[in-house]
Structure 1
Amino acid sequence: MAPHFDVNVIVVGRDKFSPEKLAQVDGSVAIMKAIFATFGPEVGTVRMYHLSSAQAGRLAIIRNYADAKTLTNLWSVKNDGIDLFVVRQITDPHFTGLSPIGADCSKNRVKGDSPRAPVVAMQELTAETGNAFAHEIGHFLGLRHCEDDPPSCAGTANDFMFASPGPFGGITAAQAAKMKTHCAVKP
């Protein structure tokens, strides 16, 4: 297999997701896989997990960075996959997902402001959610927004690392090369 990373999709408050939204999670994973397939690294094994609303408590809906950090510090899957937390809603209008940039692979609790792992809110459309999955995992693997690192996005009008939501999909060779050096990516 080509350079790849595994993903643990953790649906937070799964019992509150409609059957349509649960199907949207699966469709979003497919979109994320397609985005990474262009230059890699590829998405390897995807495992699905869930936390009930009772387990998640108030963290089933993320209000701020502190909530995302608490959520990701409280739960992790004991394997070498990237934990990707999916919530129904992030109430802060400034973001649809949060992720550390160039995250540690140890899954230890973090002390800074950022969450330990990506947290993404479900969007109206499957394509938007799939783009958000890929975008936040891009951060985890070391990528910054295109606005903050223009050379890595050069020549790609629909790069998946633009800060504003949109019909993303493009990955540059430079971005792929950077992500392939992250500890979560297997050769």
Structure 2
Amino acid sequence: MTDDEVLAEFRAAEALLEGHFILSSGLRSPRYLQCARVLMNPARAARLADALAARIPEDIRSQIEAVVSPAMGGVIAGHEIGRALGVDAMFVERPEGVFGLRRGFRLIPGQKILLMEDVVTTGLSSREAIKAVEEAGGKVIAAASLVDRSNGTADLGVPFFPLIRIDVPAYAADALPADLAAIPAIKPGSRAMTA
């Protein structure tokens, strides 16, 4: 799947948004990819996961024993990449502020894990999820995401395979360009708000 074909999937799902968005990192951006919308169609989610699985080099892909993703955004993406790879998919969540496995999920000591995200912006939540996997006994051997919007700056400490890289500017709230500052900011996703 080419980058244009991936973007066509986002556009078809009305998941490529324009405006003034507050990212989970706190940074602001004029564009937002709403992965939940692109993943709401099972056939589209399967196409994207299959394309991503094919981008992971075979020497890594063949070692993956399970997929772990951070809740909430990574749950569907993680499940789909697990299906594409033929391995179990679990997720970490942080009901009290720190990621951990719950719901009876557990890892075998040394189990080789692919960490799967929907979108990586700064990599902070990915690194926190990797730490939780390691504390639970797993070994993260690679990470993947549908979208890398870090402008190539995210360092997850393991090989990282995004389906698409989208370089969209992101700004601190106190350093917005005038045209972006003139638009009310919204926080899309599961914790929507207007600033």
TM superposition score normalised by structure 2: 0.29
Larger Rg: 2
TM superposition score normalised by structure 1: 0.30
Q: Which has the higher contact order (CA 8 A, sep 6+)?
A: 1
